[in-house]
Structure 1
Amino acid sequence: MASYLYAFTLNTAEQPDLFYSEDEKLRLESVLEELERRQAPVDDNGFFDGEGFGQIERVRLGNTEAICAFCVTSSSLGYYNEAKIRDNSFTTEKRQHKYYTKSTIFLTENSEFIVMFDNSMEERAKSGVKKQIELLGFDMETFYIEDQLIRNIQIEGFPWHAATFNKIVKHGDSTRRVSFAIDPANSEDPSLVQQHYSDHGEMSHIKFDLPFNPDEPPHSITVTLYSDKNRIIINENEFQNTQKFYDFVVYLLNKLRELK
């Protein structure tokens, strides 16, 4: 199962007087208490009846203390004219149809905010999730996936399978975007597409293998990055259990920040 991740940094470093912050660390207990006060309401049938949070708990991500919770947000299916009877006469009324969806969020002691969706349909709620966290009093900065980060992954020598060049400007060439795949096991023959467009476009996507946990499987994990929406995709099925998956998420984000 693919997981869609988005990473942010909270503004606690710029606001040391924020009551959630202490000694340059996020006060997780204070944040947890506030999340519990904002739990999403549930109706008698178990369906959500409003936005908020649920299943809030303290966890460890690698060596990092964190809060894990579900964030419930409202999404709209659009407005429709529905038939109804009023005063024994047929009429129509414009009504909005909406539904509630969930995402998994992490708030770490290092002021990292991570949002995780189970599929591309759920990730439409990203702006609503950010709004829920901002209502707590936080601002946040997006972790951007940019051309230089993708090139640094290649320079670092991680095995990579596929990539995309975007915004190509090359005299005499009408190509504006090109996606291509390579055989990572073939280290002798360079990618002709990479050579042809490297100086003429921005890299906007890469699929690569990141070494992880050499003592036991999985020894490396396939990660896909997109500059579009700053999306990170990992296959959760590559891990033996949920805890290893969570540990890798923090390890990955730390590695990507180093490569920036």
Structure 2
Amino acid sequence: MSSLFLYTLNTLEQSDMFLCDANGNLDMEKVMASMVEREAPIEENGAITGEGFFDIKLNEINGIKVIECFAAAQSSLGYFHEAKWHDNQVVTQKVQHKYYSKSHLVISKDSHVYIKFDWAAEEDSRSKVKTLIESIGFEATSYKVHDKFLRAVQSKFKWTAAKIDRIERAGDSTKRISYEIDPSDDQFTSQVDSDYRAHGKMSYVSFELPFTKPSKGDQTLITVKLYGGGAVKIVIDEREISDLKDFKVFQVYLLNCLNEIRDSL
């Protein structure tokens, strides 16, 4: 499963910065130059030995200029006690085992940031990747998703699963509940959803978003898992959209869909 996190740079608040043009849009060449100064060190054998950006490219997605790259962030497997033979005796040392994980970044001219992780374990580096982005000279604000927003998503699209927290219902000790439905069943509604949706806060919804893949030109349904309660986390099954070019177009399309919902609230 791929996970996607969305951020917005505060360029509109700092339109006079040297990294922006007069309209508050990013000056892509200057931003790229700043990112090159923060490139991750890579050895000849391909080993990454420090945090930073790499494979930085100027690209275009759906007519929008973007900077596309990878970010390397240091992670740890934890501390282990390693035994060594030194001066004819056994010596035990507490050693931290480190490695560098990667994330795929897209930064658009209109100040949107998309951070994609291919594995759940890579998400642990999200705060470090955010700090790395902010080192360019901006503040990055995460896309916020709360109860009202998730309910609007549930109403607009064909949904398949949901989770409700902080349930307060007279005569019922249930505090949270997760449930799935059969989206192909048009005859019956979810009794659980009917019973509990008005008595708690929705924190998760899974829905099917129609999308036309550029690589094939055919429309398909992409299952989107939207986790709220604050900063949004989006999970997408790679088997449904395995082509990276399709995914990059999809993430821009998805953000536009989410913004339409947010603007309507």
TM-score, normalised to structure 1's length? Answer: 0.92
1:143 equivalent in structure 2: 143
Q: How does 1:208-223 map to 2 (within 5 A)?
A: 208-213=207-212, 216-223=217-224
1:232 equivalent in structure 2: 234
2:252 equivalent in structure 1: 250
2:205 equivalent in structure 1: 206
Q: CA deviation at 1:89?
A: 3.8
2: CA distance, partners of 1:225 / 1:15: 30
1: CA distance, partners of 2:252 / 2:199: 33
1: CA distance, partners of 2:89 / 2:68: 52
1: CA distance, partners of 2:18 / 2:257: 30
1: CA distance, partners of 2:163 / 2:99: 35
Q: How does 1:1-260 map to 2 (within 5 A)?
A: 2-22=1-21, 23-156=23-156, 158-213=157-212, 216-227=217-228, 230-239=232-241, 241-260=243-262
2: CA distance, partners of 1:69 / 1:3: 17
Task: Please say if residues 62 and 246 of structure 1, whose CA atoms lie closer than 8 Å, have aligned partners that are also in contact.
Answer: no
Q: CA deviation at 1:212?
A: 2.2
Q: CA deviation at 1:107?
A: 0.6
**Partner amino acid for 2:24?**
E
Task: Please say if residues 62 and 248 of structure 1, whose CA atoms lie closer than 8 Å, have aligned partners that are also in contact.
Answer: no
Task: Please say if residues 150 and 228 of structure 2, whose CA atoms lie closer than 8 Å, have aligned partners that are also in contact.
Answer: no
Q: Percent of aligned positions with the same letter in both sequences?
A: 40
Of the structure 1 ranges 206-215 and 27-36, higher mean CA displacement relative to structure 2 is found in: 206-215
Q: CA deviation at 1:109?
A: 0.4
Q: CA deviation at 1:17?
A: 2.0
RMSD of Structure 2 on Structure 1 (CA): 1.9
TM-score, normalised to structure 2's length? Answer: 0.91
2: CA distance, partners of 1:187 / 1:24: 47
1: CA distance, partners of 2:218 / 2:238: 14
Of the structure 1 ranges 114-123 and 188-197, higher mean CA displacement relative to structure 2 is found in: 188-197
Task: Please say if residues 164 and 179 of structure 1, whose CA atoms lie closer than 8 Å, have aligned partners that are also in contact.
Answer: yes
- Cα offsets for 1:124-168 (capped at 9, x unmatched): 111111111111121111112211111101222x11111111111
Number of aligned residue pairs: give it. Answer: 258
Q: CA deviation at 1:66?
A: 0.4
2: CA distance, partners of 1:87 / 1:178: 60
Task: Please say if residues 218 and 238 of structure 1, whose CA atoms lie closer than 8 Å, have aligned partners that are also in contact.
Answer: no
1: CA distance, partners of 2:87 / 2:136: 46
Q: CA deviation at 1:46?
A: 1.8
Task: Please say if residues 218 and 239 of structure 1, whose CA atoms lie closer than 8 Å, have aligned partners that are also in contact.
Answer: no
1: CA distance, partners of 2:239 / 2:189: 31
Of the structure 1 ranges 130-139 and 221-230, higher mean CA displacement relative to structure 2 is found in: 221-230
1: CA distance, partners of 2:220 / 2:81: 55
Task: Please say if residues 167 and 200 of structure 2, whose CA atoms lie closer than 8 Å, have aligned partners that are also in contact.
Answer: yes
Q: Which runs of 5+ in 2 are unaligned?
A: none
Task: Please say if residues 154 and 205 of structure 2, whose CA atoms lie closer than 8 Å, have aligned partners that are also in contact.
Answer: no
